Amino acid sequence: MKPLEQVLSPAIINRNSFADTVYEQKEHFIHKINKLKIDIIKNHQPSYPLDFIRPEITESWIRSKNYGVDSFKFNTPFLDTHTIKQILNKNQYLTKAAAPYIHKLANIFKSTDCYVMLTDAQGTILQVVCRDKKTIQSYQLEVGAIWNEETIGTCSHGLSLLLKTPMQAWGPEHYSQILFQSTGSSSPIFDVFGNLAGTLTIVSDEDFHQSAHTFALVVSIAWIIQNEFQLLSKSAVLSATLETSEDALITINNNGIISQANLKAYQLLDYKNNNLIGMPIENVFGNQPVINSILEMGKPIYDTEIQIGHTDLRINLHSVHPVKDHIGNKYGYVLRLKKIVNKTFDKSSDSGLRFSFDKIIASSLEMEKTVTLAKHFATSDVNILIQGESGTGKEVFAQAIHNSSRPNGPFMAINCAAIPHNLIESELFGYEGGTFTGAERNGKRGKIELANGGTLFLDEIGDMPLDVQPVLLRILEEKRVMRLGSNKYTPVDFRLIAATNKNLRELVSKNKFRLDLYYRISIFKITIPPLRERGDDIINLAQHFINSAATKYQVPAPYLSDTAKFKLLNYTWPGNVRQLENTMLYAVYVSKNGIIWPENLPDDISATAMEITDDSVTKTVVKDRVILPIQEIEKVSIRDALLQTGNNIRETAKLLGISKSTLYRKIREYQILDI
Ligand SMILES: Nc1ncnc2c1ncn2[C@@H]1O[C@H](COP(=O)(O)OP(=O)(O)OP(=O)(O)O)[C@@H](O)[C@H]1O
């Protein structure tokens, strides 16, 4: 703000010195100002030195004259009703923020002749509170009246708008003679981007009702209004910013409650008819250890795949960032979500097929056998059936086979369980234009046609509708396809890889899958073992996922402690490799000091190790040597304790509750350290 001498009228500043001889001095002062005003407007030599008139005022007089303002008439232009409506609508946040304060001020001044008004950046009156009807009439004080330098000449809020600073104008300083008795104090109000939004003004008809204090009051209240106005528009600006994003965005508070979501988030999560705001994120995403760990630890994460609840929808958490103020207070998180090109949609060969045989981690005997078999099948053009529990890597194998046998052709994936029954035929076989309502005008090629020269991956084939199965069978036999609504065949050359986590034989016996199709697709079968049967592969995969999680979080890869390994080997992994991947992502995130301990694993994994009761599971676990000999457990405990104490023998012995000499003996016996 400018120095007080420039913003306050000299009449107010010098009021105390007027006090004794009040009348004469003030009248003389007024006379001098009026004379000077006429001199300046008429371009005469000034009759008095200019030092008691602020240059801002004299410059404004000249501009007012140039605008052609008539100083003896008060002709404020008015906007028509429609434009007033538009302007009020445009300024609704400003008027909403200002209304309570304007009324409070007006109440304070109710026994005086003061009135309070709010204008927009052009000087249009948006709100005005004035008790005196006569004043309203003589000044045409109404919403929609345009009061600025161009319309009424020099005035405090006209100057405030122009100079973007608080200003006061006193009686004769006004250009218009009608405002001769008035004194105004104005302060500008700025929007969230620093643009001028309007002014707040207090005007009184008696200058003794105005003082430096009135001026300070206007400045303070304008500042409060500005804060509220900016707060209101900030949330609107934030929503608008969210909407301009290419990605789906969600903001959550520290407790995981959704506070904002853009349209893309609603579309991605298929929440078109429900409100996301106020929902716990867990209700929308299902229980996600990664999200839990973020809420717990507050660190950002990047590029993480999650599966939404029990649905088929997989999304990529492109980033999750804490929202902090400049002193580090955390208010919540912004989640940037991306759709993972779903198995129900096209996956052409250039859309990022990640897996080839050399990227499949498989060192257990079972898995090595599986990979060898898959490589062997890949060399021919036979149809292949991949069986395995969910998350075991069926698609990983399908991609590897495709990349090794038809790398230059398309890879078309379709998840039979995820496509509505009535759409599956058109998705697979395509259709001619005008076949049914809602169809594309020129028709559409089906996935089978699109897979020509490459691979068709039919995931969850057990869910293929019974009436579609014979058509597929015929296509496999004849290698030609007919679009719906057409009578022409198109020859197709593709390899079919089908996958299922169901027992197809059983489905056949229940008449839910056709025997002839089963025979057609199941001659070359690959069965991927569940993770719990892969022994050391669990650790190799865990290590692999730790490394990629560390790259994702841009931290050094933590060491996987033996006790944590022990827990991983003991767990039954119902979600298989996908679950292990998420577990490691979580563990890397929550680990401290570069080591993953059992407590860094999700509760169900760290807790269940020794409590396996299911008979079938126990057998497998035994087979995969999860029940370790006592010595092995002892060795693991000693190694971890040494790791925790940085090889400090005294502390390690204390931690394990044994003597130092016993510890030395066991270290030598188990050949843990070089001593
Ligand atoms: N042998 C492996 N080496 C490395 N990563 C693997 C391996 N097997 C699986 N994965 C990882 O596990 C995730 C799940 O694999 P995939 O999607 O192929 O399983 P799926 O059996 O097709 O699952 P679903 O039955 O649910 O469709 C993949 O994203 C991949 O990162």
pTM of the shown model: 0.52
**396 Cα–ligand 1 center, Å:** 5
Claim to verify: residue 368 and residue 475 sit in the same structural domain: yes
The string of DSSP letters for 574-632 reads TTHHHHHHHHHHHHHHH-BTTEE-GGGS-HHHHHHTT----HHHHHHHHHTT-S--HHH
From 126-135, 178-187, 195-204, 342-351, the region with the lowest mean pLDDT: 342-351
Confidence at residue 274, expressed as pLDDT on a 0 to 100 scale: 83
Claim to verify: residue 361 and residue 227 sit in the same structural domain: no
For 323-336, give the secondary structure using H, E and C: EECCCCCEEEEEEE
Torsion of CA 551, 553, 556, 557, to 10 degrees: -70
Claim to verify: residue 153 and residue 54 sit in the same structural domain: yes
Residue 395 alpha carbon, nearest atom of ligand 1: 18
Claim to verify: residue 190 and residue 253 sit in the same structural domain: no
Give me the mean pLDDT over the 612-640 stretch: 56
pLDDT higher at 242 or 653: 653
Claim to verify: residue 407 and residue 509 sit in the same structural domain: yes
Among 183, 210, 236, residue at a domain's last position: 236
Q: 18-22, 79-83, 337-341, 598-602: which has the highest mean pLDDT?
A: 79-83
Whole-number average pLDDT of the chain? 85
Among 308, 339, 370, residue at a domain's last position: 339
Nearest to 450 by CA among 413, 498, 500: 413
Confidence at residue 438, expressed as pLDDT on a 0 to 100 scale: 57
Rounded Cα gap, residues 125 and 141, in angstroms: 8
Residue 448 lies in a domain: yes
What is Dmax (Cα atoms) for the chain? 117
Pocket of ligand 1 (CB under 6 A): 360-362, 388, 390-396, 459, 501, 577-578, 581
Residue 449 lies in a domain: yes
**392 Cα–ligand 1 center, Å:** 5
Q: Binning pLDDT at 50, 70 and 90, where does residue 296 land?
A: confident
The token pair at 215 is 């001026």
pLDDT higher at 376 or 620: 376
Q: 208-217, 256-265, 607-616, 623-632: which has the highest mean pLDDT?
A: 256-265
Residue 392 alpha carbon, nearest atom of ligand 1: 21
Among 529, 551, 584, residue at a domain's last position: 529
Confidence at residue 145, expressed as pLDDT on a 0 to 100 scale: 94
The token pair at 335 is 């989640």
Confidence at residue 614, expressed as pLDDT on a 0 to 100 scale: 38
Nearest CA to ligand 1 atom 31: 578
Indicate whether 617 pLDDT > 70. no
Within 13 Å and on the Cβ side, how many CA atoms surround 97? 27
Q: Round to the nearest angstrom and report the end-to-end CA distance of the chain.
A: 76
**361 Cα–ligand 1 center, Å:** 11
* DSSP bridge partners of 198: 120, 189
Claim to verify: residue 32 and residue 159 sit in the same structural domain: yes
Claim to verify: residue 414 and residue 461 sit in the same structural domain: yes
- How many domains is the chain built from? 3
Kindly report the CATH number assigned to the domain that includes residue 405: 3.40.50.300
Give me the mean pLDDT over the 329-340 stretch: 86
Nearest CA to ligand 1 atom 8: 393
Give me the mean pLDDT over the 244-251 stretch: 88
Domain around 294: 249-339
Confidence at residue 14, expressed as pLDDT on a 0 to 100 scale: 66
Residue 174 lies in a domain: yes
Residue 384 lies in a domain: yes
**576 Cα–ligand 1 center, Å:** 8
Give me the mean pLDDT over the 56-79 stretch: 90
Nearest CA to ligand 1 atom 7: 393
Claim to verify: residue 59 and residue 194 sit in the same structural domain: yes
* DSSP bridge partners of 339: 315
Q: Binning pLDDT at 50, 70 and 90, where does residue 149 land?
A: very high
Residue 393 alpha carbon, nearest atom of ligand 1: 18
**Which of 347, 387, 395 for a ligand 1 pocket mutation test, highest count of atoms within 8 Å of Cβ?**
395
Give me the mean pLDDT over the 261-279 stretch: 88
Rounded Cα gap, residues 79 and 68, in angstroms: 20
Confidence at residue 130, expressed as pLDDT on a 0 to 100 scale: 86
Claim to verify: residue 309 and residue 367 sit in the same structural domain: no
**ipTM of the complex model:** 0.97
Rounded Cα gap, residues 564 and 570, in angstroms: 10
Residue 586 lies in a domain: no
Residue 614 lies in a domain: no
Indicate whether 29 pLDDT > 90. no
Residue 639 lies in a domain: no
Confidence at residue 532, expressed as pLDDT on a 0 to 100 scale: 92
Residue 398 alpha carbon, nearest atom of ligand 1: 18
**447 Cα–ligand 1 center, Å:** 22
Confidence at residue 15, expressed as pLDDT on a 0 to 100 scale: 62
Nearest CA to ligand 1 atom 16: 393
Confidence at residue 43, expressed as pLDDT on a 0 to 100 scale: 85
Percent of the chain past pLDDT 90, that is, above it, reads 43
Claim to verify: residue 46 and residue 186 sit in the same structural domain: yes
From 16-30, 222-236, 280-294, the region with the lowest mean pLDDT: 16-30
Kindly report the CATH number assigned to the domain that includes residue 304: 3.30.450.20
Confidence at residue 192, expressed as pLDDT on a 0 to 100 scale: 85
**Model pLDDT for residues 471-523, shown as the tens digit of each residue:** 999 999 999 999 988 888 999 999 999 999 999 999 999 999 999 999 999 98
Confidence at residue 626, expressed as pLDDT on a 0 to 100 scale: 46
Indicate whether 400 pLDDT > 80. yes
Q: Binning pLDDT at 50, 70 and 90, where does residue 229 land?
A: very high
Rounded Cα gap, residues 520 and 506, in angstroms: 16
The string of DSSP letters for 139-189 reads HT--TTBB-SHHHH-S-HHHHHHHHTS-EEEEGGGSSSGGGTT-EEEEEEE
Claim to verify: residue 219 and residue 284 sit in the same structural domain: no
Residue 175 lies in a domain: yes
Claim to verify: residue 280 and residue 210 sit in the same structural domain: no
Amino acid occupying residue 365: L
